[in-house]
Structure 1
Amino acid sequence: MTKSELKVFLDEKVVEYNNPEFLETDPIQIPHLFTQKEDIEISGFLTATIAWGNRKSIINNSHKLMEKMGQSPYDFVLNHTDDDLENLSGFVHRTFNEIDLRYFIRSLKNIYRKHNGLEGIFTTHQDKNSLQPTISIFKKIFFELPYEQRTTKHVSDPLKGSAAKRINMFLRWMVRDAATNVDFGIWKDISASKLSCPLDVHSGNVARKLGLLKRKQNDAKALAELDKNLRKLDPLDPVKYDFALFGLGVFEKF
């Protein structure tokens, strides 16, 4: 199909999937449990961190995590005691376990106490055209406390070749506007034009079939290629096509 036909097709799919029904089967339903900005950020970040594998398992384990944090993630992060951290024992999602979780909680406390929160880091260090270099800076700040090496794999670094799917998804949640009641739009000082598609096996395969992506690996170079082509379709909100690519792949087996 022509470029104009492709845009019409994908725009229709965006409308189809970018609506509250999407929440029923997507991990983004977890931060929608909250109304306070910081609760949304922290629950969203932790949920996105474990968002790989079976989607039902992701959602179930994210609910368990919120329960362990007393359904008040911001208060838990800021005011937890050593005993509270011990109560996180037994949490596991695939390779993310209680060791990783305890560090994440300590690091988030440091970020909200010393770096003006998650939004503060991404806003202060944002690049002119893309948030991929910012993610790399974020990882350095995230691991400025003493940590175990195993935990570093749970925060991706685009400058080391990663497509950083989960953190790009989290950024989409925080930055894209809330007009359709799916994303939150609570980070007002970052433009949606800088967002990148959460590239995974589903969106990658559909993008290749549609001619939006040629590179075979789902890595940072593939993400840059996909970003370039999606920005041709909509330079102001390119990552809206995440809904179309993901929906076509997961729900329509395109």
Structure 2
Amino acid sequence: MNLHENLYQLLEAAVEQYNHPDFIESDPISIPHQFSLKQDREIMGFWTAMLAWGQRKTIINNANKLVELMDGAPYDFVLHHQEEDRKVFLDFKHRTFQATDTLYFLEFFQHYYRQHDSLEDAFARHLSPTSLHTESALAGFQQLFFSLPDAPERTRKHIPSPLRGSTCKRLNMFLRWMVRKDKKGVDFGIWDRISPSQLLIPLDVHVDRVARNMGLLERKQTDWQAVLELSEVLRSFDPTDPVKYDFALFGMGVLGKEWS
């Protein structure tokens, strides 16, 4: 058995192990799993993903605080709340995510959802069906998100762009949640205008470390080019669903035994 085949079988086995409903409870994806309405899943999926750095328990606790502040109904709150209803969010914070950022997220969501049915269009409008991957969707979304007149400069660090070299880990993770389609019960697969084959790997420190240990990533910097490089390698294992291996790499790095 050659090295490529050996790696393929190892990754496939790890995907099977970690792409499982048992994964949900301790992962930030548990937040949008509280909801059945597509827009609730989008709003809380996006917001939770954008908060997803630091301890997972803290991420989940703070995302649940946001749900409580929106009376347990994010989409209804976003559509119908008045400006004075935002005062209760002034004390919300998660690490460097502060009140200014929270208020702008609410403003963007309300502006957007009063004109559009789904957050999918905010990404898919920038992407061609023939595009190899989602770089243009991420860059276009970032520009759209900050297109309102009073968009605060400080909030930009929370919604990165690949055009500035960021790995865009949290955005890629959110797209994985919304786009990937299987019968495992973890990812939602509720968007149709982006193909799972176009998705890019959410490159966090755990995925980066395991990928390098396995010889899947050679680029020295952990940046956007590294995301493209690793995603291309993973596409050689499964061209239709390369990002399913996020379960394998993350699982081996955080939840299980690493490759050595």
Where on the TM-score scale, by shorter chain, does this alignment land: which range? over 0.9
Question: Quick one: which of 138, 141, 162 aligns to 2:166?
Answer: 162
* 2:78 is the counterpart of 1:77: yes
2: CA distance between counterparts of 1:153 and 1:114?
A: 26
* 2:216 is the counterpart of 1:212: yes
Contact 2:28–2:48 under 8 Å retained in 1? yes
Contact 1:111–1:142 under 8 Å retained in 2? no
**Structure 1, unaligned runs of 5 or more:** none
2: CA distance between counterparts of 1:87 and 1:102?
A: 10
Q: TM-score, normalised by structure 2?
A: 0.95
1: CA distance between counterparts of 2:64 and 2:146?
A: 25
1: CA distance between counterparts of 2:5 and 2:115?
A: 47
Question: 2:151 matched to which residue of 1?
Answer: 147
Contact 1:48–1:166 under 8 Å retained in 2? yes
Contact 1:37–1:186 under 8 Å retained in 2? yes
* 2:138 is the counterpart of 1:135: yes
Which amino acid is the alignment partner of residue 136 of structure 2? P
1: CA distance between counterparts of 2:112 and 2:202?
A: 24
Cα offset, 1:84, TM superposition: 1.1
Question: 1:229 matched to which residue of 2?
Answer: 233
Q: Which moved more, 1:79-88 or 1:54-63?
A: 79-88
* 2:245 is the counterpart of 1:251: no
Contact 1:172–1:183 under 8 Å retained in 2? yes
Q: Which moved more, 1:81-90 or 1:226-235?
A: 81-90
In angstroms, what is the RMSD of aligned CA positions?
A: 1.1
Question: 2:52 matched to which residue of 1?
Answer: 51
Question: 1:19 matched to which residue of 2?
Answer: 20
What's the CA shift string for 1:99-126, capped at 9, x where partnerless?
1011011111222223553111222221
Cα offset, 1:252, TM superposition: 2.3
Runs of 4+ in 1 over 4 A off after TM superposition: none
Cα offset, 1:253, TM superposition: 4.9
* 2:64 is the counterpart of 1:60: no
1: CA distance between counterparts of 2:115 and 2:126?
A: 15
Q: Which moved more, 1:201-210 or 1:140-149?
A: 140-149
Which amino acid is the alignment partner of residue 41 of structure 2? I
2: CA distance between counterparts of 1:82 and 1:112?
A: 16
Cα offset, 1:54, TM superposition: 0.7
Q: TM-score, normalised by structure 1?
A: 0.97
Which amino acid is the alignment partner of residue 135 of structure 1? L
Question: 1:6 matched to which residue of 2?
Answer: 7
SS where residue 235 of structure 1 aligns? coil
Cα offset, 1:89, TM superposition: 1.3
1: CA distance between counterparts of 2:58 and 2:133?
A: 31
Question: 1:108 matched to which residue of 2?
Answer: 109
Count of residue correspondences = 254
Question: 1:41 matched to which residue of 2?
Answer: 42
Which amino acid is the alignment partner of residue 165 of structure 1? K
Percentage of pairs with the same residue: 50
Which amino acid is the alignment partner of residue 166 of structure 1? R
Question: 1:185 matched to which residue of 2?
Answer: 189
Question: 2:29 matched to which residue of 1?
Answer: 28
**Structure 2, unaligned runs of 5 or more:** none
